[in-house]
Structure 1
Amino acid sequence: MRAAPVGIVGLGYVLGEHSLPVDGIDGRMEVMREYRMPDRQALWGWDRFRRTERSRADLAAESAAGTLARGGIDPGEVDALIVCCGDGLNYHAQNLLTGELSKRLGLNCEFVSWVGGAGCASLFSAARLARSLVIADAFRNVLVVGVDKVDDEAIRFQRYGVFSDSACSFVIRGEGPVDFTVAGIAVASSLSSLNGAGQDLAQKCVLIQSVFERLAPVKGNFPYAGSVFFGSNVFLPIQDLERSVMPVDGLVHERGNVASYGHCAGADPFINLVDFYARGDNDGVTRSVLGSSAHGHFGVMLLERRRTEAVS
């Protein structure tokens, strides 16, 4: 069992190549009328979204190739691959996508897995699995790739978000240079809300608080005050509601991508983190809290920036 910290390297993303206005989405007004949503961009946060004509394999391969290049990792050094996708792809389609991705990257992995089922919190489940594999000394470099694409334009605009097509990726490792160390990660589900009856606010509050309670052992070494929170780019009122029930104080909520990107499914927190540091004026911020929720699921990851250091 590895005692040293586990880190992340090469974090990056790819967005759909077309940036389009939200007000041009077919069926948008019907959804708004159904759920009594006022057509006010300033209230909801929407403006534009990203659409791709490329395949999921195209997006995933471009993102993952960039991850390996940024991390200085040869494809032969990747000994585990975890693909996360919120789409309802069956077993055969999953294998085709994973196989195509491995071929394009030149991977020869000992272990390959597909993670889904927790909606937009699934990528946190994938990261948790990757971290566990590294901590157990089962693998050295675990490549995690998340990719989501809307095939049916009728579902691009929903009551909680405007979906963009995207992919993101990173390597979780226990040795070598890293960009961030993982101070903690927790994911939980509310099984009682997964029976199709819906999840009420009380259930959501209890679920969110339970996840933060799981992180309690690391809280003393990871003060939340002054940390930046990166969440999902869903509509602003929903972000405000979920943030209000998080049992932490002093977090700065970064949500500058809501208007320009929309909701990139599970990739949102990671995309927002990359863009935050890419601006160049946030180098002094070292602690980040990433969070993502879905119906019946919630995940949180605590990261500490370690750009020039190495995990050993």
Structure 2
Amino acid sequence: MRPTSVGILGLGYVLGEQSLPVAEIAGRAEVMREYRMPDRQALWGWDRYRRTERSRADLASESAAGTVVRGGVAPGQIDALVVCCGDGLNYSAQNVFVSELSKRLGLDCEFVTWIGGAGCASLFSAVRVARSLVMADTFRNVLVVGVDKVDNEAARFQRYGVFSDSACSFIVRGEGPTDFTVAGVAVASSLPSLNGSGQDIAQKCMLIQSVFERLGSEKGEFPYEGSVFFGSNVFLPIQDLERSVMPIDGVVHERGNIAPYGHCAGADPFINLFDFYARGDNENMARSVLGSSAHGHFGVMLLERRPTTTG
């Protein structure tokens, strides 16, 4: 029997063990000079970033192991694995990574896929894939793992954000208790923007608006008033621009992690969501909007935070 709804369970994350000052990043001055960025910390919102000496498999397996425990799902109950990684691993390295991750977690699933083409929006693509698999009654528990690590320190500081090393994970399931119900998820790309790294502002704004329109046509009305928005920890002016074209008036924009964490690539919205509810004083904020754009791609997801039995 196909489930009537899909939820997310056991969300968690791991950051690089080193917390370092952005002001000391190699190449920062050169990037700022090239793009004529004023050296004003308060304007951009940066402070520190997270770096690791550990491997991607170390970060991912620690996060995913916590997800399995929090979700109360045995490794043998994981039916499929969806991995997201922005860059740094070719095809062979991806296979080695998945093999190592599966071995450490004790997974025995036969279906594994790798998603990374949408950059920092890739986790929304992963949720969409996992949700489709669950809604089709193909699998019950799909483990989603995202991991990103900067190999070249000179590439850590970019004109749009400061990259940190991290991993995040959660289970997408179609029956049994969940922490969040997925009320809707949409991802799209602006094909003309891809050749220019998505830097055309007008095309970016139109893409964001079109994704929300698509989501509205699929989901119907969503009560944005009183919801919380969790986006990417990119620099504050970019956040302000992207948020300004989103038709989500009345939401609270939560962005307190940009200073201590930096930009954890695609994991940002999920990390910010986790921390917001982990504080324990936000139980009355039941609805969340997650969104992220990257080089001509944009994804958005609507969540309802109520432990739910789906199916």
Question: For this pair of structures, how many residues does the alignment match?
Answer: 311
Provide, for residues 29-59 of structure 1, a one-character-per-residue CA deviation record: whole Å limited to 9, x for no partner.
1111111111111110000000000000000
Separation in 2, partners of 1:247, 1:270: 21
Q: 1:251 to 1:218 in 2, by over 3 A?
A: farther
Mapping for residues 2-151 of structure 1, pairs under 5 Å:
2-151=2-151
2:266 counterpart residue number: 266
Runs of at least 5 residues in structure 2 that lack an aligned partner in the other structure? none
Residue 198 (structure 1) shift = 4.9
Aligned match of 1:153: 153
Question: How many Å apart are 1:293 and its aligned residue?
Answer: 0.4
Q: Is the 8 A contact 1:183 1:218 kept in 2?
A: no
| Alpha-carbon distance in structure 1 between the residues aligned to 2:36 and 2:78 | 49
Rounded to whole Å, the distance in 2 between the matches of 1:213 and 1:123 is 20
Contact conserved, 2:26 with 2:153, CA < 8 A, in 1? yes
* Superposition pairs of residues 147-296 of structure 1, within 5 angstroms: 147-196=147-196, 198-217=198-217, 220-296=220-296
Q: Which residue of 1 aligns with 2:309?
A: 310
For 2:56 and 2:263, locate their aligned partners in 1 and report how far apart those are by CA, in whole Å. 17
Alpha-carbon distance in 1 for matches of 2:193, 2:150: 25
Compared CA separation, residues 197 and 135, structure 1 to 2 (3 A): closer
Q: Distance in 1 between matches of 2:198 and 2:44?
A: 22
> For residues 20 and 48 of structure 1, what CA distance do their matches in structure 2 show?
5
1:125–1:219 CA distance, 2 compared to 1 (3 A): closer
Distance 1:42 1:164 in 2: 19
RMSD: 1.2
Q: Distance in 2 between matches of 1:127 and 1:189?
A: 16
> 1:198, 1:143 → 2: CA distance?
30
Per-residue CA deviations over 1:186-218 (Å, capped at 9, x if unaligned) read: 000001111247531110111001100111146
Give distance in 2, aligned partners of 1:197 and 1:53.
29
Q: TM-score, normalised by structure 2?
A: 0.98
Distance 1:235 1:123 in 2: 20
Once the two structures are superposed, residues 113-161 of structure 1 have per-residue CA deviations (whole angstroms, 9 ceiling, x without a partner) of 0001111001111111000100111100000000000000000000000
Q: How far off is 1:221 after superposition?
A: 5.0
User: Which letter does structure 1 place at the counterpart of 2:273?
Assistant: L
Give the partner amino acid of 1:86.
G
SS of match in other structure, 1:215:
helix
Residues 197, 296 of structure 2: 8 Å contact kept: no
TM-score, normalization by structure 1: 0.97
- Whether contact under 8 Å (2:3, 2:175) holds in the other structure is no
Q: 2: CA distance between counterparts of 1:200 and 1:139?
A: 39
